[in-house]
Structure 1
Amino acid sequence: MENVRATTRPAFWLMLSVILVALNLRPSMAAVGPLLSGIRGDITLSFSDAALLTMLPVMAMGLAMFFGVRIGQRLGEHRSVVISLLVIGLATLSRLFLDSTAELILSAVLAGLGIALIQALMPALIKSRFPDNVSLFMGLYVTSIMGGAAVAASFAPLVMSRTGSWRLGLAIWAALAVLALLFWYAQRAAMPKLPGAAIHHEAFAGNRRAWLLAIFFGLGTASYTCVLAWLAPYYVEQGWSEQNAGLLLGFLTAMEVVSGLVTPAIANRRQDRRLVLVALLVLIIAGFCGLILSPQHLSLLWPCLLGLGIGGLFPMSLILSLDHLDNPCRAGGLTAFVQGIGYLIAGLSPLLAGIIRDRLGSFEWAWWSLTAVMALMILMVLRFDPRHYHRHFQ
């Protein structure tokens, strides 16, 4: 019994540290939307320019994914995360002193690079350290990512209204990086050593299933990034205050947290994930339709449906990739490739939606476009039969 407790204790503290690190992976983006009207009142910023604040960090995350695993091998997983947290914290803190659109965008890109390095390493670390409960712990990790977004979206407008400064509303989240850094640094002795050769020498760019998984992840994440960037501004245009619109986005991300915890636990009971994936996509479609057709009526229902769908789809897309390979190193390499391509795809969605808003004067056509994309993804889900996984990766 004492040996079990001795083994469980380090695992608990490691997972707690992973959760605190994950809380830092979205506030730099999630705080922007609810504060957009305040930012635009101080800095000249079109909707297309504002889209860059979400698009460029997501694109940077995608590009950095291809180098993140190799950097992690060279520096070590523990040191890589420490450096990434420092980059995220400093990029976030720098927003206290910004005076131009270019400086704001640069801070977003730097934060995106730090975020990418962490996201490239965590799936392989979790699969290696918690091999018997990958779905559960991936759910906790991804849920924590969305939890960070929920906290930032909900409280950034409150900070701005209390202090009169949108800069402080963006910069205050550097405190989360300091907290995570303290806990993560204390785990340096408990970190598993992951062999790097399998990832270093295996390329997935020539594998059609890897591309299908990447496109699926990218299209699903496009709905997440677009909603993160534009839901609050959409409701501000409907006549809501910045604080109420931010709280609505916070409510949506809270629903993502709930779904991110519950969905992987449900899916963990069986190897075939297709039914769960289809159900999540149907929820997202229903949420977008409600957002378009009746934004002012049942205004909590549509974000609830979107949050439940998106919140479950994000971890399930990563779990789907991990399911294809048993070896933690190969699976980590696959998820890095999937996220790299996926974030490049997803990064375009806020920009396209911003252009649509500038040209047509409404976000509604952006929501319709995402609805069509979710319908296409339902057809893609049919390809993910677990009985055939072994055929795609020899």
Structure 2
Amino acid sequence: METVRTTARPALLLMFAIVLVALNLRPSMAAIGPLLSAIRGDIELSFSLASLLTMLPVMAMGVAMFFGIRVSQRLGEHRTVVLSLLIIGVATASRLFLDSAAELILSAVLAGVGIALIQALMPALIKSRFRDNVALCMGLYVTSIMGGAAIAAAFAPLVMIRTGSWRVGLAVWAALAVVALIFWMAQPAQQSLIESKSATRQSFFNNSRAWLLAIFFGLGTASYTCVLAWLAPYYVEKGWSEQDAGLLLGFLTAMEVLSGLATPAIANRSRDRRLVLVVLLGLIMAGFCGLILGPQYLSLMWPCLLGLGIGGLFPMSLIVSMDHLDHPQRAGSLTAFVQGIGYLIAGVSPLLAGMIRDHLGSFEWAWWGLTAVVALMILMVLRFDPRHYARHIH
């Protein structure tokens, strides 16, 4: 595929539009945790059922990844993003009128489909348009995703307090979709994403390295989804107010934003990403141990460590996948596969944690389980030697 090089100013405008789009990819999930106590007071929800509000959209994201690339090739990526933002906006705004758990879950699933369509095509876009700065631009894109989560987690309780309605606290984030839609549609037609009619269709289902990358991404994202779903309820159970617990989750996601910006820039100095990945996983393990052993002591330290670790791990997992292939379309197809399988794996984790909470009466056992998963991931990192990438994926 011939790569279209953008000049500096249009490239900056395109990256700004991508940032605005990315801000919409987590608020529909991130706003739920801090408001869960209020939601459960109005709608009958067990912790296991409440976990579906995070699990099902993540699972929908996983399934939709597998046809997201084909949708973008048929509609054109520019129109696909427009459609996706409309889906996210409608799903989010509909929460103003919800009266049952089923309706709330349906809105979450619909938003998950819209999110997946965007996430399936963005890595290929970034690799083709920002070829000389892939790691940096991927870091900015993923950081913006986490930034949207930080904004929603921190301000959803404030919106609920000011308006007296948790529904408004969930629905107000549709405004972000409107803003992103305006800026995205303002992009000149010739500057929207490149449609490749000669895109290589390749299945990675029979490739063991693709599965290793997908499992690694899925296990890492499991930590993110569990923390997103249950950190605020965990601290509410410890006696914190919904607003303080939401601000704590917002602080954690702010640390994710910081790490998501800094880590790819640091890792960009070398094609061997293993040392960076091990450090990030070590931070996550320390954060979970702190949550278990001393959640009320140094209460900002543990979310800080988790945020720095998870925030860097998310973009680095995608960057390592993209490192395996130079061709933007094929790298995009690989990352779509990695995210598809990965989100299906990660989607189960909030449900398991919710079931553990229902049966054992505490989230601590869920944090222990995630600590063991992260230890396993450190062993997986040792396989990511860049000298052998070509041997694993031709």
TM-superposition CA deviations, 1:305-336 (whole Å, max 9, x none): 00000000000000000000000000000000
TM-superposition CA deviations, 1:139-184 (whole Å, max 9, x none): 0000000000000000000000111100000000000000000000
TM-superposition CA deviations, 1:167-208 (whole Å, max 9, x none): 000000000000000000111421241425444x21100000
TM-superposition CA deviations, 1:339-359 (whole Å, max 9, x none): 000000000000000000000
- Written as runs of structure 1 = structure 2, the 5 A alignment for 1:191-210 is 191-199=192-200, 201-210=201-210
Would you say the 8 A contact 2:78–2:193 is kept in 1? no
- Written as runs of structure 1 = structure 2, the 5 A alignment for 1:63-142 is 63-142=63-142
TM-superposition CA deviations, 1:32-61 (whole Å, max 9, x none): 000000000000000001000000000000
Decide which moves more: 186-195 or 68-77.
186-195
Would you say the 8 A contact 2:284–2:374 is kept in 1? yes
Would you say the 8 A contact 1:128–1:192 is kept in 2? no
Would you say the 8 A contact 1:255–1:304 is kept in 2? yes
Hey, what's the Cα distance between the residues in 2 that align with 1:188 and 1:157? 38
Hey, what's the Cα distance between the residues in 2 that align with 1:198 and 1:182? 29
- Written as runs of structure 1 = structure 2, the 5 A alignment for 1:138-149 is 138-149=138-149
Residue 184 (1) aligns with residue 171 (2): no
Secondary structure of the equivalent of 1:96? helix
Would you say the 8 A contact 2:126–2:137 is kept in 1? yes
Would you say the 8 A contact 2:76–2:193 is kept in 1? no
Would you say the 8 A contact 1:64–1:116 is kept in 2? yes
Residue 228 of structure 2 corresponds to 228
Residue 242 (1) aligns with residue 242 (2): yes
CA, structure 1 residues 196+216, in 2 after alignment: closer, same or farther (shift >3 Å)?
A: farther
Hey, what's the Cα distance between the residues in 1 that align with 2:15 and 2:197? 22
Hey, what's the Cα distance between the residues in 1 that align with 2:388 and 2:196? 27
Residue 359 of structure 1 corresponds to 359
Would you say the 8 A contact 1:285–1:374 is kept in 2? yes
Would you say the 8 A contact 1:28–1:170 is kept in 2? yes
Would you say the 8 A contact 1:31–1:169 is kept in 2? yes
Hey, what's the Cα distance between the residues in 1 that align with 2:216 and 2:120? 18
Would you say the 8 A contact 1:125–1:194 is kept in 2? no
Residue 350 of structure 1 corresponds to 350
Hey, what's the Cα distance between the residues in 1 that align with 2:193 and 2:357? 47
Secondary structure of the equivalent of 1:203? coil
Hey, what's the Cα distance between the residues in 2 that align with 1:298 and 1:192? 46
Secondary structure of the equivalent of 1:339? helix
Partner letter of residue 317 of structure 1? S
- Written as runs of structure 1 = structure 2, the 5 A alignment for 1:1-394 is 7-189=7-189, 190-199=191-200, 201-394=201-394
Would you say the 8 A contact 1:78–1:188 is kept in 2? no
Hey, what's the Cα distance between the residues in 2 that align with 1:108 and 1:363? 23
Partner letter of residue 272 of structure 2? D
Deviation, 1:7, is 1.4
TM-superposition CA deviations, 1:105-134 (whole Å, max 9, x none): 000000000000000000000000000000
CA, structure 1 residues 196+29, in 2 after alignment: closer, same or farther (shift >3 Å)?
A: farther
Would you say the 8 A contact 1:28–1:173 is kept in 2? yes
Pairs aligned (count): 389
Hey, what's the Cα distance between the residues in 1 that align with 2:256 and 2:118? 21
Hey, what's the Cα distance between the residues in 2 that align with 1:159 and 1:35? 10
Would you say the 8 A contact 1:196–1:329 is kept in 2? no
Hey, what's the Cα distance between the residues in 1 that align with 2:346 and 2:255? 21
Structure 1 residue ranges, 4+ long, deviating more than 4 angstroms after superposition: none
What is the aligned-residue identity percentage? 80
Partner letter of residue 20 of structure 1? L
Partner letter of residue 70 of structure 1? R
Q: Which runs of 5+ in 1 are unaligned?
A: 1-5
Hey, what's the Cα distance between the residues in 2 that align with 1:188 and 1:287? 45
Hey, what's the Cα distance between the residues in 2 that align with 1:138 and 1:19? 10
Would you say the 8 A contact 1:142–1:260 is kept in 2? yes
Residue 3 of structure 2 corresponds to none
Hey, what's the Cα distance between the residues in 2 that align with 1:387 and 1:234? 43
TM-superposition CA deviations, 1:14-49 (whole Å, max 9, x none): 000000000000000000000000000000000001
Residue 3 of structure 1 corresponds to none
Would you say the 8 A contact 2:156–2:170 is kept in 1? yes
Hey, what's the Cα distance between the residues in 2 that align with 1:113 and 1:211? 22
Hey, what's the Cα distance between the residues in 1 that align with 2:391 and 2:130? 26
